[in-house]
């Protein structure tokens, strides 16, 4: 019995060390999630109009090998949106309409439209006619909190650098990095996937 008791201080010390090691990461995750929630709450609106620019890198190691994409997006609430691709010329005029859980895509090059299946697997597929740079999930508009577990990478003078790791193993992107400024619109968002390229 004495021999067993002699191990108690060491065991308690080990448990305390593990708790102190885990605690900062738990609090950091909570703080990162709080930043994401406040940022999304601040930018929530009944209706919206945004013009977005996106750089798609086919190889994260080659900054010259990229595609510049410009999109005009209209939104109503959380579930309704309308997006028009303005550039590059190869996909100019491509349009996506989302209403509730349904989506339709219009291909300007052929004049054809297609209804997108609502299944998760379908929305992870690449949008044909966009060079494989986008999946239907990219344009679904769901919240980051639903898809990623966040942590703070760095605290900056103008905000934070946050990293989100995908909750699902088959997610389109394995992680994202967001430069958030005082709960405002993200200054920059980078999306990484297992197949090298990022946005």
Alpha-carbon distance 168 to 175, whole Å? 11
Q: Which pLDDT value is given to residue 120?
A: 47
What pLDDT is attached to residue 20? 39
Give bridge partners of residue 71 from the DSSP assignment. 52, 85
- Answer yes or no: are the C-beta atoms of 11 and 136 closer than 8 Å: no
Q: CB count, 10 Å around CB of 115?
A: 10
Residue ranges per structural domain of the chain: 43-192
pLDDT value of position 93: 93
Superfamily covering domain 43-192: Lipoprotein localisation LolA/LolB/LppX (2.50.20.10)
| Three-class DSSP category at 93 | coil
Q: What is the predicted pLDDT for the residue at 140?
A: 54
Contact 73, 111 (CB under 8 A): no
pLDDT of residue 27: 46
Distance in angstroms (rounded) separating the CA atoms of residues 190 and 183 = 17
Q: What is the pLDDT of residues 137-168, one digit of tens each?
A: 565 555 788 889 999 999 988 889 999 999 98
* Regions in the chain scoring below 50 on pLDDT: 1-24, 26-27, 120-122, 129
């Amino acid at each position: 019995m004495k021999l067993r008791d002699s191990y108690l201080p060491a065991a308690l010390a080990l448990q305390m060390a593990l708790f102190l090691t885990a605690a900062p990461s738990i609090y950091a995750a909570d703080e990162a999630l709080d930043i994401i929630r406040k940022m999304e709450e601040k930018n929530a609106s009944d209706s919206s109009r945004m013009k977005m620019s996106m750089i798609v890198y086919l190889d994260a190691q080659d900054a010259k090998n990229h595609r510049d994409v410009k999109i005009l997006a209209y939104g109503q609430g959380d579930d309704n949106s309308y997006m028009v691709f303005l550039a590059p010329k190869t996909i100019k005029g491509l349009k996506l309409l989302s209403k509730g859980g349904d989506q339709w895509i219009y291909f300007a090059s052929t004049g054809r439209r297609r209804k997108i299946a609502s299944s998760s697997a379908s929305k992870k597929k690449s949008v044909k006619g966009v060079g494989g740079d986008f999946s239907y999930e990219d344009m679904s508009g769901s919240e980051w909190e639903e898809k990623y577990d966040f942590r703070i990478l760095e605290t900056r003078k103008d905000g934070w650098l946050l990293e989100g790791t995908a909750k699902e193993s088959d997610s389109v992107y394995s992680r994202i990095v967001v430069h958030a400024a005082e709960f405002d619109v993200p200054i920059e968002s980078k999306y990484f996937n297992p197949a090298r390229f990022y946005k």
